[in-house]
Amino acid sequence: MLRAFANVLEQVEVAVCAFDDQDRTVLWNNTFLSFFPEHAGHVHVGEHYRENLRRFYRLRLSAQEAHMLEHYVEEGIARHRAQQQAFEFDHRGYRVRAASLEWGGMNRIRVWRKTVALESLAMQEPARADACIDAADVLENLADGALVMDQDDRILWANQRFHSLYGLPFSMDVRGWRFDALYQAAWQGTEPSESHLAGLRVLQERQRFSGAPYELPLPDQRWVRVLEQNRTRESGQGYSTHVDITAFKRQQEALERLSLRLELLSITDALTGLANRRRLDEALKNEWQRAHRDNACVSLILIDVDNFKQINDAYGHPYGDEVLKALAQLLIRHAGRAGSLIARYGGEEFAVLLPESSLDEAHALAERLRAQAQALSLNLGGEPVAVTISCGVSCAVPAGLGGAGDCLVEQADAALYQAKRAGRNRVVGARL
């Protein structure tokens, strides 16, 4: 059906290229190759749309823009996946209209059609400002900003809402200006910022694709969404609408912060603030794979508070919680280092994951932790309470070993059990 569809459109000079759900090329018609001859002899079934875009942009980008090639490609991929509305761009002497649609939930088809020769647009009589006067009353009452532009993309008219959105005086005559110059004017008097530069980059890229909406940052952390159609009428006029999306962006940012917070909570132990068992399991899996790839070692220390049940029974669970929090801070002070992970393993157990640490290094660290715990000064109502820990240490070089690090945990747990049986308040190490 796809092939038949492409062949039918061939007869009315519509270019077609279809892609699967992984953005890989499935088929194309001859009109596609005539529209975009750079693909002839290169495009092939299974080729990712990314390669298609690279060929397209290499011919269009100036030397000054060449460094932005990959950025434009990735933006094109995102636009391809999300496109819901047709847009237009100038290509090989024609204004070309591009559309995209899903097919059967598994494919996305892109189609291109020439709308008018650019030469004929250039020959049109210049648009007059009074040509849009009849629409001015309607546009002036819109809640959104509105611009009308001539065939050279110079402004013929703007409503007051546009002035307000961009912080421009209502008395300012914007006729004859280009929009990018007005955008610069909106930032005049502010300190240079990444938001301003990002907006200029968006303008440079997005104005290539008339009809594709884009977002622009403004001073005072405001945002607008712009939708423009350039020279789509017989008169050569174009227009654009400008919508204030500041509230939406702030809600979006708040949701993102909340999502990050929830994600953090999901991998953090509520009592001690350390990583939880889930985070430890993920980190162990990743470090095991990395050590396997690099032929490096990885070590693990399992720590258990000695006689913790007796502490809870004698002083109560709230005091037991204080012991765990104090021990967590001790571990952070003495075991925290770049690359390591300290986690509450469960109950009164803790774990320290040590990438690229030998057994001797991990054993020495565990011994220091044991000594520091023994010297920890804790009391309840002036009564000193002794706290000691037992440690099981394991070390492995994953190369040649299977699994995802489970054997490292099992070996450390076995060593911890030996330390407990040997009288507690000691360190036992084992190598895989």
Dihedral-angle region of residue 281 (phi above 0 means left; psi in -120 to 50 means alpha; beta otherwise):
alpha
250-278 as b/e: b if 16+ CB within 10 A: eeeeeeeeeeeeeeeeebbbeebebbbee
Cα–Cα distance for residue pair 173/179, rounded to 1 Å: 13
302 with 391: CB under 8 angstroms?
A: yes
Alpha carbons within 13 A on the beta-carbon side of 359:
16
Cα–Cα distance for residue pair 367/341, rounded to 1 Å: 18
Query: To 10 degrees, the CA torsion angle through 189, 190, 194, 195?
Result: -90
Cα–Cα distance for residue pair 299/413, rounded to 1 Å: 13
End-to-end CA distance of the chain: 59
Please tell me what DSSP assigns to residue 126: P
- Biggest CA pair distance of the chain: 97
- Contacts with 83 (C-beta within 8 Å, 6 or more apart), sequence order: 99, 100, 212
Please tell me what DSSP assigns to residue 37: G
102 is catalytic: no
Percent of residues in the chain assigned helix, strand, coil, to nearest 5: 45, 25, 30
226 with 216: CB under 8 angstroms?
A: yes
- Contacts with 67 (C-beta within 8 Å, 6 or more apart), sequence order: none
Active-site residue (options: 234, 348, 356, 361)? 348
Bridge partner residues of 350 (DSSP): 303, 344
391 with 419: CB under 8 angstroms?
A: yes
Closest CA to 298 of 210, 404, 386, 185: 404
> What amino acid positions are annotated as catalytic residues?
348
